[in-house]
Structure 1
């Protein structure tokens, strides 16, 4: 095997270890090669037991996440799945609602669909706030200390923003959901979402199907404490049934 092929295949394994699943198309775009090349690499790596070949892509051998991607890196991953979720959220959320929009690229991709409705937004995401600011919607930023890797405001200043607020929905993000555990990479990221949930009538956890069966370091809430899980249409029926025992799955 050439050094070029070796480096590319190592990059594929690294990407999968961080994300949990990627389509062949997303891998090709991320690495800068053709989907045909990626499919050939996936076949070889599957035979070497370095990844698991799946329909339309691949997933890692391990279900434990290693390193968290930055927001700019996550923006390029599984875009089609995130857009599906954005469309679903626009159908679920009632007009004239006040919603907390958590940080995370899946929720960021929901913004173009949600701004078409008459909504009021509260967000701790710097990027989402910047995009919402150009819309006709009412928008409030929590402020606080900026966590630059994920582009979100965290800490006590951000959390105090919710004092006295009444939300209809808290739309929350996660790095992975395993069994009844909804996980993230730090206590601060989980805590601000729990604060928002405590001020909301309903809470929804947002995750594409690649995050199911994956776990990050911190469990910040149980899945059965949410009013629902909103995911994409590619979820396996067996997995859908498994997670439906904890909450409603859209």
Structure 2
């Protein structure tokens, strides 16, 4: 197979799924690891994809861009682990919490095994799978209904209606982007409405967002910065972002990257 043919296959896969892994491409294309990485370098140089650790993802940046779950799950891994570990320390036994969809909140769910007696409401199929796999008899998991989005969130009138009848001690919200003016944003209008219902149901709102989210703006605002009681990010957050968040949110927690200790 010629280089341009391999690269066409790679691009087709990125556009279809949002992400590719080097190991999978090696097997599929029947070429070496080095050859695949050279192809990814060429495509990244043309601005046709973004290289990440172990593979590549679709190019992001527009306010309506919404990468799939698999694409986002390979980004900022160490940061997400650190944030998840720090956020789990905020959860007390016997409380009712909400967890929105997203790869950071999915990572966070894996850190809840040690917290007994939780009631967890989520619109994330991935989060629900993690919580159910733990098989804890003292845990209640409520999965909202709704229409499934590229990030495996259940959204729409069914999800919103259910959430509007609930009162949650803490809601852990994942977001696509954060900026000083627009606040916490998403590229998906229906997901924004459902996330807003989570915000309204919360006694306290905790936003989980790695440092790369700062300056990214989705088409729809979920909440203003001042609505967050706590923002948990990582210690690679830029100084201007730290200052803006410190001034507007209740508390800013910066988790040291590399010290989460794993899930």
> Which of the five TM-score ranges fits, normalised by the shorter chain?
0.7 to 0.9
Tell me what 2:126 maps to.
Answer: 127
- TM-score, scaled relative to structure 2: 0.71
> How many corresponding residue pairs?
237
Deviations 1:196-225 (A, max 9, x none): 222221011111110101111111211111
Retained in 2: the 8 A contact 1:82–1:106?
A: yes
- TM-score, scaled relative to structure 1: 0.74
Residues 221 and 153 (structure 1), Cα distance of their counterparts in 2 relative to 1, 3 Å cut: same
Tell me what 1:141 maps to.
Answer: 142
Q: Superposition pairs for residues 5-24 of structure 1, below 5 Å?
A: none
* Alignment of 1:203 onto 2:205: yes
Tell me what 1:90 maps to.
Answer: 88
State the distance in 1 between where 2:217 and 2:146 align.
26
State the distance in 2 between where 1:195 and 1:145 align.
13
Retained in 2: the 8 A contact 1:170–1:200?
A: yes
Deviation at 1:193, TM superposition (A): 1.7
Tell me what 2:70 maps to.
Answer: 72
SS at match of 2:215: coil
State the distance in 2 between where 1:157 and 1:49 align.
39
Retained in 2: the 8 A contact 1:103–1:151?
A: yes
Deviation at 1:49, TM superposition (A): 11
SS at match of 1:114: coil
Q: Superposition pairs for residues 30-179 of structure 1, below 5 Å?
A: 64-65=62-63, 67-118=65-116, 119-134=118-133, 135-136=135-136, 138-179=139-180
SS at match of 1:161: helix
Residues 149 and 140 (structure 1), Cα distance of their counterparts in 2 relative to 1, 3 Å cut: same
Deviation at 1:154, TM superposition (A): 1.1
State the distance in 2 between where 1:183 and 1:142 align.
23
Retained in 1: the 8 A contact 2:65–2:187?
A: no
Deviations 1:91-119 (A, max 9, x none): 12223221100000100011121222122
SS at match of 1:220: strand
Q: Superposition pairs for residues 182-193 of structure 1, below 5 Å?
A: 182-193=184-195
State the distance in 2 between where 1:223 and 1:122 align.
23
State the distance in 2 between where 1:195 and 1:92 align.
21
Residues 5 and 157 (structure 1), Cα distance of their counterparts in 2 relative to 1, 3 Å cut: closer
* Alignment of 1:233 onto 2:235: yes
